[in-house]
């Protein structure tokens, strides 16, 4: 039994994916020997409804000066974050001397628009390489982890915040009580905290188990988020389902009693009850579906590789793909290489299974018949870009929500 990070009750594991490396730990062949592994297993706390990793590697092993994820590499994400910045500017940063904080601001994909509007801001970003990229765009960034202590330092230096926003970060932080206490202190009495993360309801409905990896310590639902906020005098006043990252939820939070609560909150909670997100049976069923997905994917890949007499090529060396590759035991005999646009990943190998990562130029040269779509969360952008592949008769292999060949 493990102890829930939110309510400290005992809770049970419902799945183990076995030994896993660091999801974003793309490495050189000299580093194979010393590669770090831990057991990736997930549990559900029936008391506060939080789905969470049982163990997580130390934060410095995941977030450092060579962090491989640069937010701005996706055009879709650029558009998404510009829209969020515009929303913050017009709805919440329109008062006197506004101040905006972002937790996990990465390469400045969102804050660059706040900076361009001349608004006082601060990005809190511990991975130095991406924080530097933000600074080069004129984004004021500090390379530290957000917690209660950091919040106190920000108040002393800059004052209280009108907005604290965060995307794909809050679910990464295990010391949630320190984060929420920091948010509570740092917000102005009328301020808002807005964050978004991959949504548990989508993971359950689509069997998108590749969202489960070391960085994601929590798998949030509206129910579990409401429960944890209540402990800190904070209140969820609105929710907004998003299509990004394969299905996310944006949570709008304020000091309790300061904002009218939208009916969308209760509606979403009712949907979660229908989906059974409060019951262990749902997660046991998810485990069965994940096992079937693994079986279907390995069978399909083996069949294709045998038929075409060469391994397939994969598209997008995503952090998510680390779970799929290692859990399904897919090595270079099934996957020749992974094409990826991130310079820092090219020339390296995928974590654990050690499949080479190459630039899209190599993909062009190799004229593949099949491509395994790892970056399925950027499907539309990729399909628009890769029309030639499809026109020449190329086929996409997908595994979310089901394993199969896209028509
Ligand atoms: N917000 C960006 C986006 O949505 O594209 C980046 C998301 S990236 C998956 C997670 C980011 O959170 C990384 O840049 C990482 O360095 C940062 N991070 C991790 N732990 C953090 C913490 N405790 N405080 C602030 N940022 C953190
Ligand atoms: P993400 O799923 O964590 O956003 O990562 C997407 C990865 O896929 C990232 O390494 C960049 C890569 N990628 C491509 O190689 N080509 C593309 O067209 C897109 C959108 C992403």
- Mind listing the domains of the chain with CATH numbers? 71-275 (3.40.50.150), 282-405 (3.40.50.720)
d(C-alpha 295, C-alpha 298), whole Å? 5
pLDDT at 1: 75
Cβ contact 162:114 at 8 Å: no
Cβ contact 271:201 at 8 Å: yes
Give the atom of ligand 2 at the shortest distance from the alpha carbon of 341.
15
Q: Which two tokens stand for residue 385?
A: 């870009």
**Which ligand lies nearest the alpha carbon of 109?**
1
| Other beta carbons within 10 Å of 176 | 19
Ligand 1 contact, 182 CB (< 6 A)? no
Look up tokens 């999801």; give the residue. Answer: 23
Cβ contact 110:102 at 8 Å: yes
Ligand 1 contact, 124 CB (< 6 A)? yes
**Which ligand lies nearest the alpha carbon of 144?**
1
d(C-alpha 295, C-alpha 119), whole Å? 52
pLDDT at 66: 81
Pocket of ligand 2 (CB under 6 A): 69, 73-74, 316-320, 340-342, 345, 375, 377-378, 381-382, 385
pLDDT at 180: 98
Q: Which residues contact 165 (CB under 8 A, 6 or more apart)?
A: 84, 88, 100, 101, 102, 103, 110, 193, 194, 195
The DSSP letter of residue 342 is -
**Which of these, 233, 236, 216, 217, lies nearest to 225 by C-alpha position?**
236
Q: Which residues contact 135 (CB under 8 A, 6 or more apart)?
A: 108, 141
Ligand 1 contact, 248 CB (< 6 A)? no
Look up tokens 């057991």; give the residue. Answer: 39
d(C-alpha 176, C-alpha 145), whole Å? 12
Tell me the whole-structure pTM to 2 decimals. 0.95
**Which ligand lies nearest the alpha carbon of 107?**
1
d(C-alpha 191, C-alpha 194), whole Å? 10
Give the atom of ligand 2 at the shortest distance from the alpha carbon of 339.
15
Ligand 1, atom 26: nearest CA belongs to which residue? Answer: 104
d(C-alpha 34, C-alpha 57), whole Å? 15
pLDDT at 314: 98
pLDDT at 12: 87
Give pLDDT tens digits for 62-97.
Answer: 888 888 788 998 888 999 999 999 999 999 999 999
First to last CA, the chain: 45
Ligand 1 contact, 154 CB (< 6 A)? no
- Measure 355 CA to ligand 1 centroid, in angstroms: 26
Q: Which residues contact 295 (CB under 8 A, 6 or more apart)?
A: none
d(C-alpha 285, C-alpha 246), whole Å? 20
The residue to mutate among 243, 316, 376, having the most atoms of ligand 2 within 8 angstroms of its beta carbon, is: 316
Give pLDDT tens digits for 262-312.
Answer: 999 999 999 999 999 999 999 999 999 999 999 999 999 999 999 999 999
Ligand 1, atom 9: nearest CA belongs to which residue? Answer: 168
pLDDT at 69: 80
pLDDT at 183: 98
pLDDT at 407: 80
Q: Which two tokens stand for residue 304?
A: 């294709």
Ligand 1 contact, 125 CB (< 6 A)? yes
Beta bridge partners of 235: 254
pLDDT at 65: 85
d(C-alpha 275, C-alpha 162), whole Å? 35
d(C-alpha 324, C-alpha 145), whole Å? 29
Cβ contact 297:324 at 8 Å: yes
- Measure 124 CA to ligand 2 centroid, in angstroms: 23
Cβ contact 223:49 at 8 Å: yes
Within the chain, which residues score under 50 in pLDDT? none
d(C-alpha 240, C-alpha 394), whole Å? 36
């Amino acid at each position: 039994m493990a102890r829930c990070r939110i309510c400290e009750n005992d809770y049970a594991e419902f799945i183990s994916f076995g030994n896993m490396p660091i999801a974003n730990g793309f490495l050189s062949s000299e580093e194979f020997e010393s590669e770090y592994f831990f057991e990736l297993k997930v549990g559900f706390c029936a008391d506060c409804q939080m789905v969470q990793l049982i163990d997580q590697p130390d934060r410095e092993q995941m977030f450092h000066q060579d962090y491989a994820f640069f937010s701005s590499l996706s055009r879709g994400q650029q558009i998404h974050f510009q829209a969020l910045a515009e929303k913050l500017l017009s709805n919440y940063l329109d008062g006197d001397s506004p101040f905006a904080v972002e937790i996990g601001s990465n390469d400045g994909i969102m804050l660059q628009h706040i900076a361009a509007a001349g608004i006082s801001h601060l990005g809190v970003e511990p991975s130095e390489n991406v924080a530097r990229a933000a600074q080069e765009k004129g984004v004021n960034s500090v390379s530290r982890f957000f917690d209660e202590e950091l919040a106190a330092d920000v108040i002393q230096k800059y004052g209280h915040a009108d907005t604290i926003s965060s995307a794909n970060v809050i679910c990464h932080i295990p010391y949630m009580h320190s984060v929420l206490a920091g948010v509570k202190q740092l917000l102005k009495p009328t301020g808002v905290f807005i964050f978004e993360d991959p949504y548990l309801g989508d993971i359950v409905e689509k069997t998108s188990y590749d969202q489960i990896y070391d960085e994601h310590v929590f798998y949030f639902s509206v129910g579990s988020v409401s429960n944890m906020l209540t402990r800190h005098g904070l209140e969820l006043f609105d929710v907004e389902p998003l299509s990004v990252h394969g299905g996310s939820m944006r949570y709008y939070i304020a000091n309790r009693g300061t904002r009218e609560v939208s009916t969308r909150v209760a509606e979403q909670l009712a949907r979660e009850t229908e989906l059974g997100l409060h019951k262990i049976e749902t997660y046991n069923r998810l485990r069965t579906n994940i096992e079937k997905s693994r079986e279907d994917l390995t069978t399909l890949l083996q069949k294709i590789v045998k038929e075409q007499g060469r391994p397939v090529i994969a598209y997008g060396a995503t952090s998510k793909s680390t779970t799929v590759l290692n859990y399904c035991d897919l090595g270079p005999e099934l996957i020749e290489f992974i094409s990826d646009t991130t310079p820092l990943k090219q020339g390296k190998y995928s974590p654990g299974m050690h499949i080479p990562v190459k630039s899209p130029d190599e993909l062009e040269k190799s004229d593949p018949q099949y491509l395994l779509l790892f970056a399925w969360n950027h499907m539309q952008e990729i399909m628009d870009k890769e029309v030639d592949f499809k026109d020449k008769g190329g086929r996409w292999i997908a595994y979310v929500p089901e394993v199969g060949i896209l028509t």
